[in-house]
């Protein structure tokens, strides 16, 4: 039995066009995300029969693939065919507290996504100690993440996320990601994290 399963996209492959083509979405979901899920399940199985010298490498592979699976699942939920949304409620207030304004947040998030060296992600996370929103830049899938922080929004900075539609123009990809951001979904995730932290 597989431990991890590929979630269905929450919208049609062409729902985010013209910002993301059906070709990009199909490749990204059906090939790239699916590959992380498959590798995560294979790694779990191999860990069960591993020699001691193999365990460190397999743990590394498990972190990479499970994090890739989790980040892509959040990526699909971070975007919406309902474009040009704005944050609302407690999340909007927390963004003002943490970044000064939504425009300042967008500027910093875009900078985080476009200045990754090589492959990685930009995330909006709730840091659990100060209980404050932060932007983090993640190398590959699992580098430099704050322990215990909960991602609210995930933006993929790997080339496969934008290359078919944007070629090397990562800046336009980043700007269009912010136009597709599902702020209603993000607000619901934020409220759920805050509620669970207060129980
Ligand atoms: Mn990706």
Q: Residue 1: what pLDDT?
A: 59
How far apart CA 80 and CA 15 sit, in angstroms, is 8
pTM for the structure as a whole: 0.95
Phi, psi (deg, nearest 5) at residue 120: 175, -165
Q: Residue 18: what pLDDT?
A: 95
Query: What is the whole-number distance in angstroms between the Cα of residue 71 and the centre of ligand 1?
Result: 8
Q: Residue 181: what pLDDT?
A: 98
Are 77 and 112 a contacting pair, CB within 8 Å? no
Query: What is the whole-number distance in angstroms between the Cα of residue 177 and the centre of ligand 1?
Result: 13
Query: What is the whole-number distance in angstroms between the Cα of residue 79 and the centre of ligand 1?
Result: 13
pLDDT tops 70 at residue 168: yes
Query: What is the whole-number distance in angstroms between the Cα of residue 157 and the centre of ligand 1?
Result: 7
How far apart CA 69 and CA 63 sit, in angstroms, is 10
- What domains sit in the chain, N to C, each tagged with a CATH number? 22-78 (1.10.287.990), 89-197 (3.55.40.20)
Query: What is the whole-number distance in angstroms between the Cα of residue 19 and the centre of ligand 1?
Result: 16
Q: Is the dihedral of CA 92, 94, 97, 100 positive or negative?
A: negative
Query: Which residue has tokens 């049609």?
Result: 12
Backbone torsion region of residue 6, taken as left when φ is above 0, otherwise alpha when ψ lies between -120 and 50, otherwise beta: beta
Are 163 and 127 a contacting pair, CB within 8 Å? no
Question: What average pLDDT does range 134-161 have in this prediction?
Answer: 90
C-alpha angle 191-7-156 in degrees, rounded to nearest 5: 70
Average pLDDT score, the chain = 95
How far apart CA 157 and CA 111 sit, in angstroms, is 11
Q: Residue 145: what pLDDT?
A: 67
**Residues 9-35 pLDDT 10s:** 999 999 999 999 999 999 999 999 999
How far apart CA 86 and CA 73 sit, in angstroms, is 22
How far apart CA 60 and CA 51 sit, in angstroms, is 15
Query: What is the whole-number distance in angstroms between the Cα of residue 117 and the centre of ligand 1?
Result: 15
For residue 94, give both structure tokens.
């927390």
**Residues 43-80 pLDDT 10s:** 999 999 999 999 999 999 999 999 999 999 999 999 99
Task: List CB-based neighbours of ion ligand 1 within 5 Å.
Answer: 32, 156, 158, 161
How many C-beta atoms surround the C-beta of residue 18 within 10 A? 8
pLDDT tops 80 at residue 2: no
């Amino acid at each position: 039995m597989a431990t991890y399963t590929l979630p269905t996209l929450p919208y049609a492959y062409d729902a985010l066009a013209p910002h993301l083509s059906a070709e990009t979405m199909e490749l990204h979901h059906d090939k790239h995300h699916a590959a992380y899920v498959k590798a995560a399940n294979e790694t779990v199985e191999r860990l069960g029969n591993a020699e001691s010298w193999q365990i460190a490498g397999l743990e590394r592979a498990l972190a990479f693939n499970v994090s890739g699976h989790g980040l892509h699942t959040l990526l699909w939920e971070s975007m919406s065919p309902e474009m040009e949304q704005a944050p609302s409620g407690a999340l909007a207030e927390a963004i003002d507290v943490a970044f000064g304004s939504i425009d300042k947040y967008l500027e910093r998030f875009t900078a985080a996504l476009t200045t990754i060296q090589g492959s990685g992600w930009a995330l909006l996370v709730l840091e659990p100690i100060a209980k404050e929103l932060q932007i983090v830049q993640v190398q590959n899938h699992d580098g430099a993440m704050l322990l215990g922080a909960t991602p609210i929004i995930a933006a993929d900075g790997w080339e496969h996320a934008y290359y078919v539609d944007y070629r090397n123009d990562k800046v336009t990809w980043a700007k269009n990601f912010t136009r597709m951001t599902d702020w209603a979904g993000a607000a619901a995730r934020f409220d759920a994290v805050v509620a669970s932290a207060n129980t």
